[in-house]
């Protein structure tokens, strides 16, 4: 991946940050995007301290104008776009369907699903214009195929990524652009820690972890390696598929 260019959204923490660090370690030049500029600046400094190359751009992926600006920044900075990882996402409000508001729905769908649509649209345009192919990885969740009580908005946003990923894969494969979906399970990220604070440790330690074959939460770096693989030439015959690094969670009956 030396001198290739990777664009990663939601890069300020968790899986996104670990993915940026993994790409940089393999020689890629990075464009990192998120809503928190201070954390992006910290990430760029860390990558550069290790001899890597990175640039940051604050982006709200639910805004078409900001997404267009983000991709234009990548091309202006490095002249190309080879890999895109659409990781930006929020958990939103977990509440019974009878209590959710239209604003709750719009906020989560706007970032988690519309945001990926907008990113893929502009990333694909840039890759097609260059004619060099590329790889796009969207980040879903085991909740892309598992529902959970009070999680209807979040689960809907992640379910939608399966249809979006497979459809766009079918569109772009002939032009050498591969599109895949990674659906992590329980991963030790800031989002996971926020949910623990909201629902309590017992829900996860006694309710979820016993169903994880490896009996532990994953690390962001482990998910980053799955994403790195799907972008790499080692995955040259893989497109339109879902990879589920979940420690065996979804295999338990």
From 23, 83, 94, 154, the catalytic residue: 154
Q: Could you please report the per-residue DSSP string of 170-214?
A: HHHGGGTEEEEEE---SB-SHHHHHHHHHH-HHIIIIIIGGGSTT
Q: Is 154 annotated in the active site?
A: yes
Nearest residue to 123 via CA among 160, 158, 175, 163: 175
How many angstroms separate the CA atoms of 56 and 66, rounded?
13
Nearest residue to 244 via CA among 221, 224, 226, 228: 226
Dihedral pair phi/psi, residue 95, rounded to 5°:
-160, 160
Q: Catalytic site residues?
A: 154
């Amino acid at each position: 991946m030396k001198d290739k260019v990777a664009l990663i959204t939601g890069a300020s923490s968790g899986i996104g940050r670990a993915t940026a660090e993994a790409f940089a370690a393999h020689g890629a030049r990075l464009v990192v995007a998120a809503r928190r500029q201070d954390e992006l600046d910290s990430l760029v400094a860390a990558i550069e301290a290790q001899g890597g190359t990175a640039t940051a751009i604050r982006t709200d992926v639910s805004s078409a104008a900001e997404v267009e600006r983000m991709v234009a920044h990548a091309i202006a900075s490095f002249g190309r776009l080879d890999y895109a990882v659409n990781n930006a996402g929020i958990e939103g409000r977990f509440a019974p369907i009878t209590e959710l508001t239209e604003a709750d729905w719009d906020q989560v769908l706007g970032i988690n699903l519309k945001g990926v649509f907008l990113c893929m649209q502009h990333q694909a345009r840039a890759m097609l214009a260059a004619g060099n192919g590329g790889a796009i990885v969207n980040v879903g969740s085991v909740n892309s195929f598992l529902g959970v009580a009070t999680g209807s908005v979040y689960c809907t946003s992640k379910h939608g990524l399966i249809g979006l990923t497979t459809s766009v894969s079918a569109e772009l494969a002939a032009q050498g652009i591969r599109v895949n979906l990674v659906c992590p399970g329980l991963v030790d990220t800031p989002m996971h820690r926020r949910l623990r604070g909201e629902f309590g440790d017992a829900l996860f330690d006694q309710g979820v972890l016993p169903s994880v074959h490896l009996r532990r939460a994953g690390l962001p770096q482990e998910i980053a390696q799955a994403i790195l693989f799907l972008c790499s030439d080692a995955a040259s015959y893989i497109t339109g598929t879902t990879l589920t690094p979940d420690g065996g969670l979804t295999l338990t009956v």
